[in-house]
């Protein structure tokens, strides 16, 4: 039963020339994207980059450790609020605040991960859900620090020396540089010994502990890593938006993260970026075209929700490996026929 | 705050607890047969509440609307099992969990499209001024809720203990593989569990709509509370779920009345966390009920 | 070999992005000043953006508000628009979510190039857009109620709003309570920005009117039961209970109040005023409940010299016949928002731009609207007074004006 949802690792057999080709393509795209996209879409890509950072950690946790967390939006929120509080209440430098945000996320995840270390699949998910809701209530109630449900404003933009980053284009370059670094880091991580051990726990935790792998430790580390990406992403988000409020970091946002990760595919770290981009672009597309079909924007809002529900169900039934998994299957088939 | 107020809080808590208990029972039934935490349970509540409210406002008599609403909820439950969960039953627990999240989103969207975003009302089943018992005020609808909770519990008890179908379902909840050997079809039992779970949620829907109104997005929170109740009871036992529900309702009411109304919802989920860490088998069960 | 190549590629990719970043953050400071507010209009239509809560927790208000705006524009365009030029609405849903609200504002400003934006419909969705709208120089007329939307006015150059300030509503309620000789009151606040803002403003006002707030309770947006909070209040036995909440929570409080046999005075703020208020609370429960709100429910009881009377009357009959649904003061606020913008476009004459709309919004005087009579100025981006708030009471199942 445990083996059913085991997923295959992407083959690591791309030739070097192909690799250079792909990298060059991505590089050129990212460099010139803001020029082609216009400022609105550039802004959207900034958000995509921010979401991707948080989604990468969640992919690691869900795809590699096999744990579903419904608290990713909460770590996102912790990152945002720590940055917000440090910069506005204590007037810390923004970069220091981001460092602090990451550390706090890691510590909180460490504690939560420690107390939930023995919980199996469903129980862990429920525990993260409970944590997420409690955290949200704390954000609302501790108004002296968090601004309560009205949220907090005035979080400064990132700056390099005297240059403040305040155009969409500048944010685009910064966020995608960070996103790519995080992606590469996690990519190397999952291909390391550590990653392989993590995956073996997911396949069979009993067998792994028999082989002397400390399963609890790996789980805890994966959880902390996912929280760190959540915290980093949240810190960048708060600085980009300049405004945060508890309603953004709720249960529904956690579900949105799960949706993005699942659509992209849990089989590979790259699933995160694909999931985020596809989901965000789909939303955008639906927003533009549904009102034209239905002539009634409220019905369009409902149809968007219906669409996501359906997408999630159909993906899970027919493509549990997400987009990356489906592409991989196609490639295998094509190879087989050759 | 004197002793009457305390009893007042206790009684309010009991009526809310009865509601949580019914949802929790539905959860437990579905969880144990299908091995999935059904995130869409609250959505079944919503569908029944909205259906009943719109039927009544279209002129259908209250009791007939209520019966139709419960049937509709049960049918939706069956459809969900057949169309969404059954095809993916071999895909693993994580996949099933995410599917129920998808189902809950889908149903919420459909409700928004059909019924819009305005809250709807359902007239109470028992009309008239609230009753005064020893200075404690009890709304008449609470008697209905308490009554229906008791009736449902008795019916469930009879069903599980005295009928073939019920025993089969119970056997399937305890052990799927063994029950297959006994000639019980797990697939049919899975369907039955959804029918039962959704119908129970439907009963909750028509009971709460007169008290707390019906909105398209009411399912999420009420479902989550049912969840907490089920975990309190250990997730595997029906009596545990009932006690868990009542306990949660009372604790919430006392918490809001005595401690802080802002942190009321946090109380429920903090209890959830603490119970899961300290007693993952639920607070009522003595022996460990871990499924292998 | 592979590994080295990979690292070199990765690093060069990141470096190139950082270079791009440095390059544009240098030029950027001049850029942002020049791109402001200079775009003038193509004369086919005046494009106005709408950023409202069509789904999510505040959609109870968002949909009727959208209806009200669409009705206004439909009638205006049928009558030849503004000097022959029609209004074109671009409507987006912000999902009652702050991030989405900012995304929508950006889309309206950058992609659709609208002249002005209406929305968000709540305080948090508006607050999220304010820094952006100020920076871009696009007028925003909010339908959110929080006073901080337009205050401090120096930091809200491009921001306006139509709902009465909590300050004005609080003053009106405090005056009313003083007249009724109610001194000790309990306050129930919705656990969100709306309730918070109401509570903090009323606290200040109450001190001036010699009113004591003896207890403060919170109620959640999705709460099914407020009996514990009311039980607590009951034991304090205050003279009156003031509730700052929106439906369905507000309606549940009213029901629970009746269910607990309470006979203190129950007063709601304007946010509770859904068109189905009485039905949602239940006829018996709503009896004798007070609300501080606008005039749409009591037009027939207004004196004939009330300047708003015919304006509101037309609005109510048009809305009811077009949408087959009742009106509430809340959708009237959105109607006022588009009304203000159209007025500002008219005042702009031939030179219509974002800048001209902003400047002329500040010049609007004695404009009769649904919520009140608007008198805006550079120091006042809201323009109403406590006089525009009325106290209503449910008597025999109907709203009655309390004089």
> Tell me: the pLDDT tens digits for C106-134?
889 988 899 999 988 988 889 889 988 99
CB contact under 8 A, C220 and B137: no
CA distance A105 to chain B (A): 19
Please give the Cα distance from A214 to A190 (Å, whole number).
17
Mean pLDDT of B276-288: 68
CA distance B3 to chain C (A): 11
Mean pLDDT of C94-109: 87
- Which chains does chain C touch, 3 or more C-beta pairs < 8 A? A, B
> B105: which chain A residues are within 8 Å (Cβ-Cβ)?
255, 305, 308-309, 312
Q: Is the pLDDT of residue C360 over 90?
A: yes
Please tell me which of the candidates C56, C223, C235 has its beta carbon nearest to residue B2. C235
For Cα atoms B65, B143, C253, give the angle at the middle one, nearest 5 degrees.
80
**Residue pLDDT, tens place only, B53-102:** 999 989 899 999 999 999 999 999 999 999 998 888 877 777 888 899 89
CB contact under 8 A, B9 and C228: yes
Among the ranges A40-44, A231-235, B173-177, C246-250, which has the highest mean pLDDT value?
A: A231-235
Mean pLDDT of chain B: 85
Please tell me which of the candidates A43, A173, A248 has its beta carbon nearest to residue C21. A173
- The pLDDT value recorded for residue B285 is 59
Mutation for testing the C interface, residue in A177, A191, A270, A309 having most C CBs under 10 Å: A177
CB contact under 8 A, C228 and B217: no
CA distance C382 to chain B (A): 28
Q: Please check whether residue A150 is in contact with residue C123, taking contact to mean a CB–CB distance below 8 angstroms.
A: yes
Please tell me which of the candidates C2, C31, C91 has its beta carbon nearest to residue A167. C31
CA distance C143 to chain A (A): 16
Task: For residue C194, give the chain A residue with the closest CA.
Answer: A150
- The pLDDT value recorded for residue C31 is 39
Contact of C33 with chain A, judged by CB distance below 8 Å, is answered with: no
Please give the Cα distance from B146 to C233 (Å, whole number).
25
Q: Is the pLDDT of residue C42 over 60?
A: no
- Which chains does chain A touch, 3 or more C-beta pairs < 8 A? B, C
Question: Which carries the bigger pLDDT value, residue A251 or residue C75?
Answer: C75
Question: Which carries the bigger pLDDT value, residue A60 or residue A308?
Answer: A60
Contact of A20 with chain C, judged by CB distance below 8 Å, is answered with: yes
Contact of A81 with chain C, judged by CB distance below 8 Å, is answered with: no
CB contact under 8 A, C235 and B1: yes
Question: Which carries the bigger pLDDT value, residue A245 or residue C158?
Answer: C158
CB contact under 8 A, B261 and C228: yes
CB contact under 8 A, C127 and A153: yes
Share of chain A above pLDDT 70, in %: 87
Indicate the pLDDT class of residue C75, thresholds 50, 70 and 90: very high
Mean pLDDT of chain C: 86
Mean pLDDT of B186-211: 89
Mean pLDDT lowest among A11-20, A265-274, C167-176: A11-20
Q: Is the pLDDT of residue A4 over 80?
A: no
Q: Is the pLDDT of residue C141 over 90?
A: yes
Contact of A313 with chain C, judged by CB distance below 8 Å, is answered with: no
Task: For residue C277, give the chain B residue with the closest CA.
Answer: B119
DSSP state of B241: H
Share of chain C above pLDDT 90, in %: 48
- How many of the other CB atoms lie within 10 Å of CB of A69? 31
> C103: which chain A residues are within 8 Å (Cβ-Cβ)?
43-44, 47
CB contact under 8 A, C274 and B118: yes
Question: Which carries the bigger pLDDT value, residue A4 or residue B148?
Answer: B148
Q: Is the pLDDT of residue A184 over 70?
A: yes
- How many of the other CB atoms lie within 10 Å of CB of A109? 28
All residues at 6 or more sequence positions from B25 whose CB lies less than 8 Å from its CB, including other chains: B152, B156, B200, B238, B241, B242, B245
Indicate the pLDDT class of residue C11, thresholds 50, 70 and 90: low
**Residue pLDDT, tens place only, B101-130:** 899 999 999 998 888 878 888 888 887 778
Indicate the pLDDT class of residue A80, thresholds 50, 70 and 90: very high
**Residue pLDDT, tens place only, A247-304:** 888 888 898 899 899 899 888 888 999 999 999 888 888 877 776 666 555 566 778 7
Indicate the pLDDT class of residue A8, thresholds 50, 70 and 90: very low
- The pLDDT value recorded for residue A209 is 64
- The pLDDT value recorded for residue C26 is 44
Contact of A48 with chain C, judged by CB distance below 8 Å, is answered with: no
- The pLDDT value recorded for residue A300 is 64
Within chain B, residue ranges assigned H as helices are 3-34, 41-57, 62-79, 93-115, 140-162, 164-174, 176-181, 186-212, 219-232, 238-254, 264-278
Contact of B113 with chain A, judged by CB distance below 8 Å, is answered with: yes
Please give the Cα distance from A96 to A102 (Å, whole number).
10
- The pLDDT value recorded for residue A331 is 84
- The pLDDT value recorded for residue B186 is 76
Mean pLDDT of A188-213: 76
Among residues A191, A164, A38, A23, the alpha carbon closest in space to that of A95 is found at A164
- The pLDDT value recorded for residue C30 is 37
Mean pLDDT of C20-43: 47
Mean pLDDT of C65-76: 94
Output the six-digit token pair for C21.
């970043």
- The pLDDT value recorded for residue C58 is 80
Q: Is the pLDDT of residue B203 over 70?
A: yes
- The pLDDT value recorded for residue C6 is 60
CA distance B243 to chain C (A): 20
CB contact under 8 A, B106 and A313: yes
> B269: which chain A residues are within 8 Å (Cβ-Cβ)?
129-131, 133-134, 137
Task: For residue A37, give the chain C residue with the closest CA.
Answer: C111
Q: How many CB pairs under 8 A join B and C?
A: 109
Up-side HSE of residue C105: CA atoms within 13 Å toward CB?
32
Contact of B136 with chain A, judged by CB distance below 8 Å, is answered with: no
Indicate the pLDDT class of residue C378, thresholds 50, 70 and 90: very high
DSSP state of C297: G
How many Å is the Cα radius of gyration of chain A? Answer: 20
Contact of B117 with chain C, judged by CB distance below 8 Å, is answered with: yes
Reduce the secondary structure of chain A to three states and give it as a string.
CCCCCCCCCCCCCCCHHHHHHHHHHHHHHHHHHHHHHHHHHHHHHHHHHHHHHHHHHHHHHHHHCCCCCCCHHHHHHHHHHHHHHHHHCCCCCHHHHHHHHHHHHHHHHHHHHHHCCCCCHHHHHHHHHHHHHHHHHHHHHCHHHHCHHHCEECCCCCEECCEECCCHHHHHHHHHHHHHHHHHHHHHHHCCHHHHHHHHHHHCHHHHHHCCCCHHHHHHHHHHHHHHHHHHHHHHHHHHHCEECHHHHCHHHHHHHHHHHHHHCCCCCHHHHHHHHHHHHHHHHHHHHHHHHHCCHHHHHHHHHHHHHHHHHHHHHHCCCHHHHHHHHHHHHHHHHC
Question: Which carries the bigger pLDDT value, residue C140 or residue B32?
Answer: C140
Q: Please check whether residue B211 is in contact with residue C255, taking contact to mean a CB–CB distance below 8 angstroms.
A: yes
Among residues A155, A245, A140, the alpha carbon closest in space to that of C122 is found at A245
CB contact under 8 A, B265 and C231: no
Q: Is the pLDDT of residue A73 over 70?
A: yes
- The pLDDT value recorded for residue A292 is 64
Q: Is the pLDDT of residue B282 over 90?
A: no
> C261: which chain B residues are within 8 Å (Cβ-Cβ)?
129-130, 132, 137
Indicate the pLDDT class of residue C225, thresholds 50, 70 and 90: confident
Q: Please check whether residue A297 is in contact with residue C66, taking contact to mean a CB–CB distance below 8 angstroms.
A: yes
**Residue pLDDT, tens place only, B135-193:** 778 888 888 888 888 888 888 888 888 888 888 887 777 776 777 777 777 788 888 88
Q: How many CB pairs under 8 A join A and B?
A: 138
> A311: which chain B residues are within 8 Å (Cβ-Cβ)?
102
Q: Beta C290-293 vs C240-244: how paired, if at all?
A: unpaired
Task: For residue B130, give the chain C residue with the closest CA.
Answer: C259
Among the ranges A133-147, A304-318, B69-83, C289-303, which has the highest mean pLDDT value?
A: B69-83
Task: For residue C229, give the chain B residue with the closest CA.
Answer: B257
Specify the residue for token string 């398209």: B216
- The pLDDT value recorded for residue A47 is 92
Contact of A31 with chain C, judged by CB distance below 8 Å, is answered with: yes
Q: Is the pLDDT of residue C140 over 90?
A: yes
CA distance B131 to chain A (A): 35
Q: Is the pLDDT of residue A125 over 90?
A: no
Q: Beta C46-52 vs C265-268: how paired, if at all?
A: unpaired
CB contact under 8 A, B117 and C60: yes
Please tell me which of the candidates C63, C228, C255 has its beta carbon nearest to residue B253. C228
Mutation for testing the B interface, residue in A116, A312, A319 having most B CBs under 10 Å: A312
- The pLDDT value recorded for residue B1 is 64
Within C246-308, residue ranges assigned H as helices are 249-259, 277-281, 283-286
- The pLDDT value recorded for residue A168 is 83
């Amino acid at each position: 039963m445990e083996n059913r949802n085991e997923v295959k690792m992407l083959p690591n057999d791309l030739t070097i020339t192909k690799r250079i080709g792909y990298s060059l393509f991505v590089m050129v795209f990212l460099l010139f994207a803001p020029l082609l996209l216009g400022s609105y879409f550039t802004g959207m890509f900034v958000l995509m980059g921010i979401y991707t950072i948080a989604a990468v950690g969640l992919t690691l946790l869900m795809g590699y450790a096999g744990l579903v967390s419904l608290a990713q939006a909460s770590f996102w929120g912790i990152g945002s609020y720590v940055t917000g509080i440090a910069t506005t209440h204590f007037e810390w430098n923004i970069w220091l605040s981001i460092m602090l945000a990451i550390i706090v996320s890691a510590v909180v995840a460490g504690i939560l991960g420690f107390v939930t270390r023995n919980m199996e699949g469903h129980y862990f998910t429920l525990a993260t859900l409970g944590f997420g809701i409690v955290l949200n209530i704390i954000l609302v109630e501790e108004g002296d620090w968090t601004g309560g449900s009205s949220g907090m404003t005035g979080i400064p933009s990132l700056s390099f020396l005297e240059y403040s980053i305040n155009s969409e284009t500048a944010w685009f370059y910064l966020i995608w540089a960070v996103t790519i670094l995080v992606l590469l880091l996690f990519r190397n991580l999952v291909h390391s010994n550590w990653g392989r051990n993590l995956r073996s726990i997911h396949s069979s935790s009993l067998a792994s502990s028999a082989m002397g792998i400390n399963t609890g430790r790996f789980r805890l580390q994966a959880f902390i890593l996912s929280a760190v990406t959540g915290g980093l992403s949240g810190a960048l988000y708060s600085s980009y938006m300049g405004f945060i409020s508890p309603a953004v970091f709720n249960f529904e946002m956690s579900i949105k993260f799960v949706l993005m990760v699942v659509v992209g595919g849990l089989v590979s770290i790259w699933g995160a970026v694909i999931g985020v981009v596809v989901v965000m672009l789909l939303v955008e597309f639906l927003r533009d075209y549904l009102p034209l079909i239905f002539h009634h924007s409220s019905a369009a809002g409902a149809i968007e929700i219906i669409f996501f529900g359906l997408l999630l169900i159909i993906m899970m039934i027919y493509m549990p490996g997400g987009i990356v998994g489906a592409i991989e299957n196609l490639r295998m088939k094509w190879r087989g026929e050759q | 705050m004197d002793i009457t107020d305390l009893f007042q809080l206790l009684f309010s808590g009991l009526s809310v607890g009865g509601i949580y208990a019914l949802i929790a029972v539905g959860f437990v039934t579905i969880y144990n047969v299908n091995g999935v935490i059904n995130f869409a349970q609250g959505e079944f509540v919503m569908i029944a509440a909205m259906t009943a409210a719109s039927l009544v406002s279209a002129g259908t008599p209250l009791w007939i609307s209520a019966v139709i609403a419960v049937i509709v909820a049960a049918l939706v439950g069956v459809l969900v099992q057949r169309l969404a969960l059954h095809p993916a039953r071999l895909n693993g627990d994580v996949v099933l969990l995410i599917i129920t999240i998808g189902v809950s989103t889908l149903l919420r969207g459909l409700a928004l499209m059909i019924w819009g975003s305005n809250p709807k009302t359902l007239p109470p089943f028992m009309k008239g001024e609230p009753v005064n018992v020893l200075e404690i005020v009890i709304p008449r609808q609470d008697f209905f809720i308490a009554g229906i909770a008791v009736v449902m519990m008795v019916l469930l008890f009879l069903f599980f203990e005295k009928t073939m179908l019920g025993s089969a379902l119970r056997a399937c909840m305890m052990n799927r593989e063994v029950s297959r050997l006994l000639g019980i079809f797990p697939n049919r039992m899975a369907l039955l569990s959804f029918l039962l779970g959704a119908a129970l949620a439907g009963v909750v829907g028509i009971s709460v709509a007169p008290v707390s109104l019906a909105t398209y997005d009411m399912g999420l929170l009420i479902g989550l509370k049912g969840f907490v109740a089920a975990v309190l009871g250990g997730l595997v036992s029906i009596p545990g779920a009932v006690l868990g529900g009542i306990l949660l309702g009372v604790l919430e009411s006392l918490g809001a009345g005595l401690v802080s109304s802002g942190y009321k919802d946090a109380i429920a989920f903090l209890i959830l966390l603490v119970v899961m860490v300290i007693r993952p088998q639920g607070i009522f069960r003595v022996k460990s009920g871990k499924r292998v | 070999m592979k590994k080295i190549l990979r690292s070199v590629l990765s690093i060069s990719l990141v470096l190139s992005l950082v270079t791009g970043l440095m390059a544009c953050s240098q030029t950027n400071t001049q850029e942002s000043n020049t791109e402001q507010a200079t775009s003038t209009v193509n004369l086919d239509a005046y494009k106005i953006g709408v950023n409202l809560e069509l789904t999510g927790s505040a959609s109870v208000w968002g949909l009727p508000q959208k209806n009200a705006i669409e009705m206004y524009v439909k009638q205006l365009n049928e009558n030849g628009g503004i000097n022959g030029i029609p209004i074109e609405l671009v409507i987006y849903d912000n999902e009652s979510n702050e991030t989405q609200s900012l995304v929508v504002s950006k889309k309206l400003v950058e992609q659709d190039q609208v002249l002005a934006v209406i929305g968000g419909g709540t305080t948090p969705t508006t607050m999220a857009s304010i820094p952006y709208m100020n920076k871009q120089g696009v007028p925003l007329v909010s339908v959110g109620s929080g006073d901080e939307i337009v205050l401090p006015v120096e930091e809200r150059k491009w921001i306006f709003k139509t709902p009465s300030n909590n300050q004005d509503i609080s003053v009106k309620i405090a005056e009313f309570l003083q007249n009724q000789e109610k001194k000790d009151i309990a306050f129930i606040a919705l656990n969100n920005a709306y309730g918070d803002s109401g509570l903090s403003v009323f606290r200040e006002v109450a001190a001036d009117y010699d009113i004591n707030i003896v207890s403060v309770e919170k109620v959640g947006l999705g709460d099914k039961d407020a009996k514990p909070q009311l039980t607590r209040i009951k034991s304090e036995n205050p003279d009156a209970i003031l509730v700052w909440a929106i439906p369905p929570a507000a309606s549940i409080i009213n029901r629970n109040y009746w269910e607990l046999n309470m006979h203190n005075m129950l007063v709601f703020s304007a946010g509770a005023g859904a068109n189905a208020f009485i039905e949602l609370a239940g006829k018996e429960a709503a009896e004798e409940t007070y609300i501080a709100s606008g005039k749409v429910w009591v037009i027939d009881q207004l004196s004939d010299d009330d300047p708003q009377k015919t304006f509101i009357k037309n609005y109510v009959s048009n809305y009811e016949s077009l949408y087959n649904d009742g009106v509430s003061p809340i959708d009237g606020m959105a109607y006022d928002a588009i009304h203000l913008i159209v007025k500002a476009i008219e005042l702009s004459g031939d030179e219509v731009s974002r800048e001209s709309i902003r400047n002329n919004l500040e010049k609007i005087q004695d404009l009769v609207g649904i919520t009140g009579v608007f008198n805006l100025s550079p120091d006042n981006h809201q323009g109403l007074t406590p006089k525009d708030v009325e106290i209503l009471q449910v008597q025999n199942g109907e709203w009655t004006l309390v004089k």
